[in-house]
Structure 1
Amino acid sequence: MKIVFITGLSFLMSLFSYLKPAQPQETAIPLCHTTDSPGNDMSAMAADPAFQRLHEAPLPFTYMGAGEMIKFSTPDGQSANGFLLKAKKPSNKWLLVYQEWWGLNDNIKQQSETFYNDLKDVNVLAVDMYDGKVATEPSEAGKLMQGASKDRLMSIQKGAIAYAGPKAEFASVGWCFGGMLSLQSAMLEGKQAKGCVMYYGRPEQDVEKLKTLNTDVLGFFGSQDKGITPESVKTFEENMAKAGEKVTVKMYDAGHGFANPSNPVYNKEAAADAYKLALAYLKDKLKA
């Protein structure tokens, strides 16, 4: 009877375990505030399906404007690509443009030309961070961003900075993945850095790294962004203060990717306001 009782009890416990409601799964998107990821600082986010769902496939667009593709050497012994709009007059003023996670697509080229036309007498270089690869679907973009090694990304950025030359004065701008890269670029530019604009990119949270900045930062973020959350932006502001650096943040009632006209969640009013502020900032920093 004892054996039967134990067996029956075991059966009931197993049955209870089977019938017990499943616990809800964590759906938060990782913020990647550390740099422990094997690839780049946003690689964990890129692999997360929830983060991928924040990016709908871009609407079809073909760029028909000015500019040319160029190649430049990188410190790792390779070469990299860029889309260059050269100033009509000789100029040491440079705007480095950093792509979204899709890659250097026609939308980025269009945006580069817009800055070029409005800034005047500034060289605009959109840097190809994926070595020629461009994604059109979120899952594909996630793989490209996740697979972009931190060392290669830095080497491409250093190559672009060297291409402009030691007398160049830099400002940078980028969106999403490129927003993070714009901030990293400003740190790599050293004393040549004059300005930095980042749109909803992952902020650097290491105070010691932020201390290396030689420029202030202008950041645009969305209060509805579930990837780069308002909480992470607040932490960034606090860390910039600890580093003795200045950051100006404008928070819009919008979601991730609100400034991309090829994005179905494009917010025209927020994008227009952000661009107006960015342009005024860049003109002041580059004295354009």
Structure 2
Amino acid sequence: MHQVRRGIFVMGLMLLLAACSGSPEKDFIDRMDREHEGDTPVENAAQDIKQSSEVSGEEVQYATVNGKEITGYLAKPEGKTNDPGIIVIHEWWGLNDNIRMMTDKLAGEGYTALAVDLYKGKVAESPDSAGTYARSVDDEEALDNLTQAYAYLNTKQGVDNIGVIGWCFGGAWSLQTALAHPQKIDATVIYYGRLVTDTAKLKTLEMPVLGIFGEEDGGIPPEKVKEFESALNEAGVVNSIHIYEGAGHAFANPSGTRYVEKAAKDAWQKTVRFLNENLK
């Protein structure tokens, strides 16, 4: 009886410690709550980023997750075939018009770009609802969603070279997609997303990584970014990490109130160059 009680006590203590420690994902979303306090999507300005060619876009069903059909946005260059592919992962606002516009911009650079939907059709218009939707995402379902996005581009669209890009919440999932499929993903772009600094985990990556961050980002502070860069270097992963002075979290989102035009445009140029070098 004494051993049974002791076992119950130990189990209860372990559960209590786990609850107090919290999960990395929850901590990240809590920080995003603070970074986006008072922020709202505003009139879309992504058209300020010029695209190289005309594109066509459409809503497509690319996955079925836990019995629910998932619809995303597919954009392709007009009159071209055999383009490299890109999985586009939305910010914590969801798959909104800004993400569709950015997907068009990527297609205009010569890519078959698929914007996924991790919120199952929901789009946030306030930080409160964005935080609620982000917290509702199940990790296993999200990875299943992204795995099927890769398969859709590879088998349905006939794409071989495939990269992944994401912003904020999507930046975190861009890295997670690369870690889940290190032999499939050919290039990874992370815009101020939650990072992994475990060298053993990062050693599995077989693709180059581009990281875009803001110096004034309290959610992903520069010291964490530098720790990530050091871990990538130690793991032998080719990487290019950039921290922009005077820029905070979500500085590259032209439809948000944190937009920093100069830094965002430079980051976009680096993104296009990185993707061209590693996917084309």
* TM range, smaller chain: 0.7 to 0.9
Instruction: Measure, in 2, the Cα distance between the counterparts of 1:213 and 1:178.
Output: 18
Tell me, in whole angstroms, the C-alpha distance in 2 between the residues paired with 1:48 and 1:235: 18
Output aligned runs, 1:105-116, within 5 Å: 105-116=96-107
Q: Which residue of 1 aligns with 2:242?
A: 250
Matching residue of 1:237? 229
Report the counterpart of residue 89 of structure 2 in structure 1. Answer: 98
Equivalent residue number for residue 44 of structure 1: 27
Q: How far apart, in 2, do the equivalents of 1:261 and 1:62 lie?
A: 5
1:51 alignment partner AA? R
TM-score using structure 1 length: 0.79
> What are the superposed Cα offsets for residues 141-179 of structure 1, whole Å, 9 maximum, x if unpaired?
011111111111111111101112266211111111111
Q: Matched residues in 2 for 1:45 and 1:197: separation? A: 18
Structure 1 residues 214 and 74: alpha-carbon distance in aligned structure 2, compared to 1, 3 A threshold:
farther
Root-mean-square deviation (CA), in Å?
2.4
The one-letter code sitting in structure 1 at the alignment partner of 2:221 is T
Does the Cα contact within 8 Å between 2:46 and 2:255 map onto a contact in 1?
Answer: no
Which residue in 1 is equivalent to 2:253? 260
Question: Which residue pairs with 1:163 in the alignment?
Answer: 152
State the Cα deviation string for residues 170-219 of structure 1 (Å, max 9, x = none).
11111111111111222333323221111111112232321221101011
Match of residue 279 from structure 2? 286
Query: What secondary structure, in the 3-state scheme, does the structure 2 residue paired with 1:89 have?
Result: coil
Residue segments in structure 1 that go unaligned for 5+ positions in a row:
1-34
* Residues 161 and 237 of structure 1: CA distance in aligned 2, closer, same or farther (over 3 Å): same
Q: Distance in 1 between matches of 2:191 and 2:116?
A: 16
- Residue 79 of structure 1 corresponds to which residue in structure 2? 69
The answer (yes or no) to whether the contact 2:46–2:102 under 8 Å persists in 1 is: no
Distance 1:55 1:232 in 2: 25
Which structure has the bigger radius of gyration? 1
Partner of 1:14: none
Q: Structure 2-normalised TM-score?
A: 0.81
Cα deviation code 1:252-280 (max 9, x no counterpart): 01101100111112100000100011101
CA contact (8 A) 2:189 2:210 kept: yes
Which is further off, 84-93 or 252-261?
Answer: 84-93
Identity %: 36
DSSP-derived class of the 1:190 partner: coil
- Report matched runs for 1:7-86 at 5 Å: 37=23, 41-47=24-30, 51-54=34-37, 56-61=39-44, 66-74=56-64, 76-86=66-76
